[in-house]
Amino acid sequence: MNEKAPKLLEKATILFAGDSGDGIQLTGFQFSQNTALEGQDLSTYPDFPAEIRAPIGTVSGVSGFRINFGSQRIFTPGALVDALVAFNAAALTKNIDQLRNGGILIVDESGFSKRNLTLAHIPEDQNPLDDEALVNSYKLLRFDITQMTKEALVDVPGSPKDKTRSKNFFALGLIYWMYSRSLQQGEKLIAEKFKAGSVAFDANIKALRAGYHLGETIEETAVRFRMDAAHLAPGRYRSVMGNQAVALALIAASQKANLPLFYGSYPITPASDILHELSKQKHFGVKTFQAEDEIAAITSAIGAAYGGALAVTGSSGPGIALKGEGIGLAVILELPLVVINVQRGGPSTGLPTKTEQADLNQALYGRNGEAPLPVLAPASPTDCFDITYAAAKIAVEHMTPVMVLSDGFLANGSQPWKFPAASDLPLISPPVASEHTEDYQPYRRDENLVRKWGIPGTAGIEHRIGGLEKQDITGNISYDAENHQKMVNFRQQKIANIPVPDLAIEWGDPEGDVLVLGWGSTFGAIREAVINLRNDGVKVSQAHLRYIYPLPANFEELISGFTHILVPEMNMGQLLGYLRREISKPLTPLHKVKGVPFASLEIEEAIRQLLK
Amino acid sequence: MLKAVDYSSDQDVRWCPGCGDYSILKQVQSVLAEFEAKRESTVFISGIGCSSRFPYYLNTYGMHGIHGRATAIASGLRAVRRDLDIWVITGDGDGLSIGLGHLLHALRRNFRLKILLFNNEIYGLTKGQYSPTTPEGHRTKSSPMGVIDHPFNPLALALGADATFVARTMDRDPLHLRDVLKAAHAHEGSAFIEVYQNCNVFNDGAFFAFTDKKTKANNTVYLEAGKPMVFGENNDKVLVKEHCGIAVDTLENAQHPLVHNPGDLHQAMLLSRMFDLPETEMEQPRPFGVLYQTHRPCYEDLMQQQIQQAVEKNGAPDLDALLAGDTSWEVH
Ligand code: SF4
């Protein structure tokens, strides 16, 4: 029995890091699942190497998985980590800066061989594990995890090299022990991933147990923690990543609208997972089309939309740039189309695996001519579902392309998700024209200025549409000056008419000194900052724009109760510039364009500066 | 029953008087009537250019898209609507320059589309610049000293992309044009048809060598399946195999006249390379008709098959199960 009672924690952050071949992501997933089953709230984020197969043992080959979890609500994958598990010297070098002072550092001594040190560019005589500063700054737990795993697996068939593959589960066992998790639950999760009775299954179970038992034998020296369940709203939960949530929302919308789903896409980081996810769900009638380029991806989707499908195209900034003309075509045709932009660092190829919010101007203004379209942005991985669903509903019901601005941080981040029942999802009613509609005119509009969707195959309403300016009502080609102005106004007003939910105070009071107004993936960091400062008595609140264009009707009113409005963005002030065109109230920018998300501390600092 | 005129829309046709497009429009309307095509399930998709105005003049469904993208738009439409009869109208600028990529990919995927490429060897709508099929040395507005680009050979390109139906015809031979359209319509897959079309404003006479009474007979060979490739003023010349290529011989001398077999890819490739510059006296005649035809499953059918297989494997779609995922848990 453990004499020392485990220390109660409210939240903790762990970073698993090792070579990309070390099974870091799997370890992270298993720990996340286990955490969710404990009822704690969590947020995770993977840190993949940018290179596909960077040389083993090098810093560029390090793969990381971060999890922030707690008995309180968790909004971000965390800033500094409380525990770092490093499987080799490169993983340590790359991530040690992220470990807080006094944090726990677990290392596999086998990963600090002469060769490993060289690969991590550490001089041979300076093994960090012998560095006094390091030993003094952190609680260092060094074991030869690789060797101990091999010993634990003597009875399992396979070469010694095969056996070392289970070292991640050995480490996971130790972490389970350290955070007072049940070993049985851990074994169950292995059973979900590996076929019972297979060599891999046996090896990983044995390694997990050995790691757990190691914990028990070192309990005199090591600390142990426990954590209560979080007070999450009751209901059924699952874990979901942003890109996955986008894919689920598209399928859900297609089912609810009773329209076949067509997804035209070209491989691009970090959007490709949407394509992968959708292509797994063909039994929902999903048609995924890996096009020859970004232009074909969108224009094939426009063809599908013309044919009566829920048509979607997804990409990242560089691909969206190529789709610009196609988006304009969808605008003038007035066909429904969902365009997903999973933003990454730019310009040009930029930073493909890093996150940024610098494509807002592109979304709002990146087309020739007057080509307005709704722009929506999810605030969290789970919100990717709600916003994408809403985008599909708007596209179909208002016959317009709609842009969804996700980003790399949301795409790969994961959270527990209280998923909806299919029956609770809002209805989607496509304005489809019926056969032999009397005097059908393709560009006749209803009270919301929405035209009817005349789908090929429908008898009695045959008509032609195209990218040339069209005459009001008939859709025939028209070069008439007055008509052009009229059509431009219609297309503008049609978008302005789309009802969007009111903006709400997400956290805090409706009046105060500072309102932090964000959009997209900055949500979590802002929330943490606002909570922290309110605990210190600062009169600060949070509002978050999910509907950027058109703006919620109550926008001006809602922000009027605050002295300062702080607008943090991972760009040079694009939302700020857009809002300045719309409203006169002074806004304070907060920029960060480093390819990494805001830390809540940076936002807290900016708020304090404002109040100085 | 619908007549050719019933496929005409109420829009005024705006091509220049004398343009070859008129004849093509007329023949298309006439074959639609012949097929008894349902107006509601017939769709014409085009890009940008003179030829791309085509859909506006037909009383069917139609979309005038953006430059070069007609084949991609049509591919997406076909992917979701296997019940529609879809025609793509493109030109040498639209289909072989800005939109070449989409054309080749549509052909290799073998979407069931009838792709009519009106080749007039010039940019008409932008008023007279050279196109990817304009012959070298040709003087145009953008090549006052002569074109230095080597021209494309459209049929060779299509064959290179593994098109399953490759044909050539011309605006000035309505009968042949209709025959080719009918063969294309019957084809289950992508049908690529190059139509020589005279732009009488910017490139008048580009194909006169093949259409003019005086030169036509010696410069053209009409391909018919199972028949020897005979041509010439007096029907006295014939194509024969020579080493690895094709040569012209007299019918009298020829031991083994070549017989057209549209299923023979190698022969089709050789025929497609018979691409001498059209002079009044050409060494080799230019072939017209269906050069090649084969069968390969259509992309959209394979796509549908996978959906059926997925349904058989995973059962009918259950949205609640999808949303719940593999692992979910209850929070009380
Ligand atoms: S410019 Fe040439 S191709 Fe275009 S309509 Fe006139 S004649 Fe026909």
Torsion sign (Cα): A87, A92, A93, A95: positive
What 8-state DSSP symbol labels residue A552?
P
The two domains A7-227 and A505-611 share their CATH topology (first three levels equal): no
Q: How far is the CA of B16 from the centre of ligand 1 (A)?
A: 5
Residue type, B98: I
Residue A136: exposure state from Cβ atoms within 10 A (0-12, 13-18, ≥19): exposed
Q: From the alpha carbon of B14, which atom of ligand 1 is closest?
A: 5
- A406/A47 Cα distance (integer angstroms): 18
Instruction: Tell me what the mean pLDDT of segment B307-317 comes to.
Output: 96
* Ligand 1 atom at minimum distance from B124 CA: 1
Q: Would the pLDDT of A3 be above 60?
A: no
- Tens digit of pLDDT for each residue in B75-113? 999 999 999 999 999 999 999 999 999 999 999 999 999
The answer to whether A66 and A81 have CB atoms below 8 angstroms apart is: yes
Q: Which two tokens stand for residue A479?
A: 């070069």
Q: Does the distance separating the beta carbons of A289 and B77 come in below 8 Å?
A: no
Stretch A56-85: mean pLDDT, rounded?
A: 95
Between the CA of B18 and the centroid of ligand 1 the distance, in Å, is 8
Between the alpha carbon of residue A75 and those of residues A45, A349, A388, A542, the distances in Å are 12, 30, 20, 13
Residue B281: the pLDDT is 65
- Residue (of A605, A514, A529) closest to A562 by Cα position: A514
Higher pLDDT, A350 or B332: A350
For A228-262, the pLDDT digits (tens) are 999 999 999 999 999 999 999 999 999 999 999 99
Domains assigned to chain B:
4-221+262-293 (3.40.50.970), 226-259 (no CATH)
- CA proximity to A597, closest of A75, A74, A28, A64: A75
Judge if the beta carbon of residue B200 lies within 6 A of ligand 1. yes
Contact between A105 and A86 (Cβ < 8 Å): yes
Residues A493-510, mean pLDDT to the nearest whole number: 98
The amino acid that residue A575 corresponds to is L
What pLDDT, in 10s, does the model give residues A127-181?
A: 999 999 999 999 999 999 999 999 999 999 999 999 999 999 999 999 999 999 9
**Who contacts A170 (Cβ-Cβ below 8 Å, separation ≥6)?**
A145, A148, A149, A152, A207, A208, A210, A211, A214
d(CA B77, CA A592): 42
Q: How far apart are CA B37 and CA B329, in angstroms?
A: 56
DSSP H helix total and E strand total for chain A:
21, 23
- Residue at A67: amino acid letter: I
Q: Where are the beta strands (DSSP E) in B47-120?
A: 61-64, 85-91, 114-119
Residue B283's pLDDT is 83
CATH 3.30.420.40 fits A7-227, yes or no: no
**CB environment A367-390: b (16+ within 10 A), e (fewer):** beeebbbbbbbbbbbbbbbbbbbb
Contact A10, A72 (CB under 8 A): yes
Distance, CA of A176 to CA of A30 (rounded, Å): 10
Q: Considering chain B, what is the average pLDDT of its residues?
A: 96
Summarize pLDDT for A427-484 with one digit per residue, the tens: 999 999 999 999 999 999 999 999 999 999 999 999 999 999 999 999 999 999 999 9
- In 3D space, the residue among A126, A52, A53 whose CA is nearest the CA of residue A89 turns out to be A126
| B99 close to ligand 1 (CB < 6 Angstrom) | no
Q: Is the dihedral of CA A483, A485, A486, A492 positive or negative?
A: positive
Cβ-based burial of A184 (10 A; exposed 0-12, middle 13-18, buried ≥19): exposed
Element (H, E) at A263: strand A261-265
pLDDT at A1 over 90: no
Of B39, B327, B330, the CB nearest to A192: B327
Q: Are the Cβ atoms of A302 and B65 closer than 8 angstroms?
A: yes
A66/chain B closest Cα distance in angstroms: 20
Q: Where would I find the H helices in B121-276?
A: 154-160, 174-186, 208-211, 213-219, 265-272
Closest Cα to residue A570, out of A541, A552, A590? Answer: A590
B73 CB neighbours in chain A (<8 A) are 299-300, 302-303, 306
Mean pLDDT of A51-61: 85
Which architecture characterizes domain A238-424 according to CATH? Answer: 3-Layer(aba) Sandwich (3.40)
The whole-number pLDDT of residue B280 equals 55
Q: Give the pLDDT score at B279.
A: 65
Distance from CA of B80 to the nearest CA of A (A): 6
With a CB cutoff of 8 Å and minimum separation 6, the contacts of B107 are B115, B158, B161, B162, B163, B164, B190, B192
Q: Which residues contact A3 (CB under 8 A, 6 or more apart)?
A: none
Q: How confident is the model at residue A2 (pLDDT cuts 50, 70, 90)?
A: very low
CA distances to A580, B71, B72, B104 from B43, in Å: 46, 13, 14, 21
For chain B, the C-alpha Rg in angstroms (whole number) is 22
The domain limits of chain A are 7-227, 238-424, 431-499, 505-611
Rg (CA), chain A: 27
Of the candidates A250, A182, A228, the residue with the CA atom closest to the CA atom of residue A71:
A228
Pairing of strands B328-331, A235-241: antiparallel
For residue B144, the tally of other CB atoms under 10 A from its CB is 7
For residues B136-147, average pLDDT: 96
Own/partner contacts of A147-155, CB < 8 Å, gap of 24 or more, are: A147/A109, A147/A110, A148/A210, A148/A214, A149/A207, A149/A210, A151/A210, A152/A206, A152/A207, A152/A209, A152/A210, A153/A203, A153/A206, A153/A207, A155/A206
CA B159 to chain centre: 12
| Distance of CA B124 from the midpoint of ligand 1 (Å) | 5
pLDDT at A278: 98
| A392 and A426 Cβ atoms separated by less than 8 Å | no
pLDDT in tens, A329-367: 999 999 999 999 999 999 999 999 999 999 999 999 999
Is A569 in contact with A575 (CB distance < 8 Å)? yes
Query: CB neighbours of A339 closer than 8 A, spacing ≥ 6?
Result: A298, A312, A313, A314, A320, A323, A327, A401, A402, A403, A404
> Alpha-carbon dihedral of residues A595, A598, A601, A603, nearest 10 degrees?
130
What pLDDT is stored for residue A222 in this prediction? 74
Q: What is the mean pLDDT of residues B140-157?
A: 97
Distance between CA atoms of residues B223 and B262, nearest Å? 9
The interaxial angle of helices A600-611 and A523-535, nearest 10 deg, is 50
Which amino acid belongs to residue B120? N
Pairing of strands B245-250, B237-242: antiparallel
Q: Do A456 and B43 touch (CB under 8 A)?
A: yes
CA of A296, closest CA in chain B: separation in Å? 5
B122 lines ligand 1 (CB under 6 A): no
Q: Tell whether domain A505-611 is in CATH 3.20.20.450.
A: no
Average pLDDT on B279-298 reads: 90
Contact: B329, A36; criterion CB under 8 Å: yes
Distance from CA of A505 to the nearest CA of B (A): 26
Q: How many residues does chain A have?
A: 612
Q: Is the CB of B207 under 6 A from ligand 1?
A: no
What is d(CA A515, CA A567) in angstroms, rounded to the nearest whole number? 9
Pairing of strands A62-70, A41-47: antiparallel
Residue B90 CA to residue B24 CA, distance in Å, equals 12
* Inter-chain CB pairs, A–B, below 8 Å: 203
In contact, A478 and B76? CB cutoff 8 Å: no
Distance CA A473, CA A557 (A): 37
Is B79 within 8 Å of A255 when comparing Cβ atoms? Answer: no
- Closest ligand 1 atom to B127 CA: 1
Mean pLDDT of A493-499: 97
Q: Please state the φ and ψ torsions of residue A576, each to the nearest 5 degrees.
A: -55, -45
DSSP per position, A54-67? PPTTSGGGEEEEEE
What's the count of helices (H) and strands (E) in chain B, helices before strands?
Answer: 11, 12
Query: A312, exposed or middle or buried, with CB in 10 Å at 0-12, 13-18, 19+?
Result: buried
Contact predicate A447/B52, CB 8 Å: no
Lowest mean per-residue pLDDT among A43-52, A193-202, A282-291, B168-177:
A43-52
Residue owning the nearest CA to atom 5 of ligand 1: B15
CA distance B97 to B88: 16
Ligand 1 lined by B16 (C-beta under 6 Å): yes
Which one-letter amino acid corresponds to residue B256?
Answer: H
d(CA B178, CA B176): 5
pLDDT averaged over every residue in chain A? 96
Say how far apart CA A210 and CA A148 lie, in whole Å: 8
Q: What integer pLDDT is reported at residue A524 of this predicted model?
A: 97
